Chains A and B, each alone.
Chain A
Amino acid sequence: MNLLENIRLALEGLRANKMRALLTMLGIIIGIASVMAISTLGSAMTGSVSKTMDKIGGKNISVYLTPKNYDSQATLQPEDYITQDELNSFKETYADQIRAISLSSSLGSGKLNSGYVHKDVSVTGANPDYRLVNNINLVQGRFISDRDIQSSRNVIIIDTTLRNNLVGVNGDPTGMDITVETKNTNETYTIIGVYEKVVIDNPLFNMGDDTRIECFIPITTAKALNSQSTAIPGYENFTIMASANTDTTAFAQITKQYFIKNLGALSDYTIEAQSMEAMVSEATSMLSTLSLGISVIAGISLLVGGIGVMNIMLVSVTERTKEIGIRKALGARNSAIRSQFIIEAIIICLIGGIIGVGLGSVLGVLGSSLLKFPTTPPFTPMIIALCFSMGIGVFFGYYPANKAAKLDPIDALRYE
């Protein structure tokens, strides 16, 4: 029997009982809508995670000294620090795996004074690799060089906002001298470069919004200016950028073992090495646990929805017993009756699915823009959701449809 004819029949039936049809569809709508909302949110998050990974360096491993026991009054001993020599030999040993090692040392906040411009800034001492590892986007001049480090030069890299304040958007501040007051002493620096601040607008990677302008000076200059750190023979932390084909999670372990050997057995401190990938997967696994939970709810809702469809189809078969008898008297085969009712169940579920996909997409898009990862609903889950809802129609529609098909024509005709 004609498929189109069956669809027309089913739609006629639904139009005759709009409220009942809607209530029947509710379970399917809620189930499909939650699945769709989740997949929209999920794809928005994965998309934003991989974009942010590119910005903040997906290949980075952060290495730091940390107390073995947080309760104790742990203090760092001079021999605990990681020296430049140790770093150099580490870099030589794993030359294939390491692309860059970034070192930094904060000089804290300071005040910049230059003519009429007075700004609060924070000053960070950095090594040349800092630029690569932290994805510093230089727009004018150059970054810190090895010679700047060796000679502890008073040179500084400022950001574009500061440049705009000093010389305007089109000006070139390189070569200009500025005075910055840190630790209550005034130092004069020569500007050698301008960088553009990378904005990471991803709530999953909220790194403490620092609205202060950050300026970079050679790490050796910074150490010389900091009375606390001049005495210190090395570094408490550094960041490795692994080469492209290195497994950062495994290399983090290797790094940890390498530096733990150098620590004295009696030290209160130990080494931690954490790859950015591991941190991200920790964040995303939290998300997937959440979406698993919602998927379970969606699954239950779809099951309940399917049972609802089956129930209403059984009611429909009983209500239309006489009609089934008439159709059989006119020559309808059992298979024609069966497909009529299965198609009706599929249509109910498919309409529910379409409403659910629409609703879920809207919710997903709204939710993801609230969480600041704007997105469009993904296509594949849409198709899967629609196919799945049709599958529910077939599964839960089969039993009532088969019941209708097997009715005895005379009993059905006599039914009042």
Chain B
Amino acid sequence: MRKKIIEMRGIVKSYYLGTPNELEILHGIDLDVYEGEFLSIVGASGSGKSTLMNILGALDRPTQGHFFLDQLPMENVKDEGLSKIRNEKIGFVFQTFNLIPRSSALNNVALPMLYGGKSRSVRTKRAKELLELVDMTARSHHRPNELSGGQKQRVAIARAMANDPAIILADEPTGALDTHTGRMVMDIFHRLHQEQGKTIILITHNTELALETERTIRLKDGSIVENKINEKIQLEGSYESA
């Protein structure tokens, strides 16, 4: 049996807006994700996808429930420990890229390794390899504002891969891109999944893109309403990139 990389039981997230008004966003989420899975999370805007992703990515803590990341019970981890987990086990890809504006593509990719205490030579070597992987070598010394949206997202994916994380969490990574560049970004995810066996959780609005993944979770008003294996993928074995 494959290793469980994420196990969530009864995850609740509430915001307290003044004493009487408790706003519950996630209502008891149960979720298992296995190593090497390519999972998509879909749902209407405001359904709690990003909230769930922040918990999955150790950026936020649930109000209630149990969450094991790579078998580790997260409720016992202190803030400094969460930083370390984000650095080593998680690779984030955001809709708005979130690159550091004043740093070059190369330095952006190297940044997680800097926080991981890697030496300069190791950082530079690995960052160059990763930029090669996303076909951005020619732009490695450009700053984010000198890059197109698709190029920025490729740099961001390279950065997410920097410390060889257990999971890549991508929150609407194609949301700010046109169909063509969105396609290129999706192809990179497929490659990482197939060639490197990465566990990828993709949040998206786009049901067509969701169908390319192995399994789709549908969120509605903070609850999982559907958990569907994508037959087409199961039959064909794997998605053939164009």
Q: Which positions in A face B, CB cutoff 8 Å?
A: 1-2, 5, 9, 12-13, 16, 322-323, 325-334, 336, 409-410, 413
- Residues of chain A with a CB closer than 8 A to B84's CB: 331, 333
Closest chain B residue, CB of each to CB of A331: B87
**In the assembled complex, how far is the CB of residue A17 from the closest CB belonging to chain B, in whole angstroms?**
11
Report the minimum CB–CB distance from B53 to chain A (whole Å). 10
Q: Given A2-B114, A333-B80, A336-B115, verify A326-B102 contact (CB < 8 Å).
A: no
For B80, B84, B114, the residue with the greatest tally of chain A CB atoms inside 10 Å of its CB is B114
Contact status B80-A334, CB under 8 Å? yes
Q: How far is the CB of A409 from chain B (nearest CB, A)?
A: 5
Partner of A323, one of B59, B88, B101: B101
B interface, CB within 8 angstroms of A:
54, 57, 59-60, 79-80, 83-84, 86-88, 92, 94, 98-103, 111-112, 114-116, 120, 159, 163
- A334 with B111: CB separation less than 8 A: no
A326–B144 CA distance with the chains assembled, in angstroms: 14
Specify which chain A residues have a CB less than 8 angstroms from the CB of B159 in the assembled complex: 330
Cα-based distance from A325 to B98 in the complex (angstroms):
9
Residues of B within 8 A of A13 (CB): 102
B92 touches A330 (CB 8 A): yes
Q: Taking each of B80, B83, B84, B163, which has the highest tally of chain A beta carbons within 10 Å of its own beta carbon?
A: B83
- Secondary structure dominating the interface of A: helix
Whether the pair B88, A331 counts as a contact (CB closer than 8 A) is yes
Who on chain B is nearest to A2 by CB?
B114
Could you pull out 6 A-B pairs where Cβ atoms are within 8 angstroms?
A13-B102, A323-B101, A327-B100, A330-B92, A333-B80, A334-B79
Partner of A410, one of B59, B100, B101: B59
Min CB gap A341→B, angstroms: 14
Shortest C-beta distance, A65 to chain B (Å), equals 80
Q: Are A16 and B102 in contact (CB under 8 A)?
A: yes
- For A2, what are the chain B residues with a Cβ–Cβ distance below 8 Å? 114, 120
Q: Which residues on the A side are within 8 Å of B103 (C-beta)?
A: 12
Considering the chains assembled together, what is the distance between the CA atoms of A367 and B34 in angstroms? 77
Interface contact A331-B83, CB-CB below 8 Å? yes
Q: How far is the CB of B100 from chain A (nearest CB, A)?
A: 6
B59 & A5 in contact (Cβ 8 Å cutoff): no
A323 touching B100 in the complex, CB below 8 Å, given contacts A1-B115, A331-B115: yes
**With the chains together, A223 CA to B205 CA distance in Å?**
118
Complex CA distance for A260 and B161, rounded to whole angstroms: 96
From A1, A16, A336, A413, B98 is in contact (CB under 8 Å) with: A413
Please tell me if the beta carbons of B115 and A332 are within 8 angstroms of each other in the complex: yes
A333-B114 CB under 8 A given contacts A13-B102, A323-B100, A409-B59: no
Residue of A nearest to B87 (CB): A331
Q: How far is the CB of B203 from chain A (nearest CB, A)?
A: 15
Contacts of A12 in B (CB 8 A): 102-103
B92's contact among A5, A322, A329, A334, by CB below 8 Å, is which?
A329
Which residue of A has the minimal Cβ distance to B165?
Answer: A331
Q: What are the residues of chain A within 8 A of B83 when measuring CB–CB?
A: 328, 331-334
Q: How far is the CA of A9 from the CA of B102 in the complex (A)?
A: 9
Query: How many whole Å from B57's CB to the nearest CB in chain A?
Result: 7
Contact of B116 among A5, A322, A329, A331 (CB under 8 A): A331
Q: CA–CA, A330 to B94, complex, Å?
A: 12
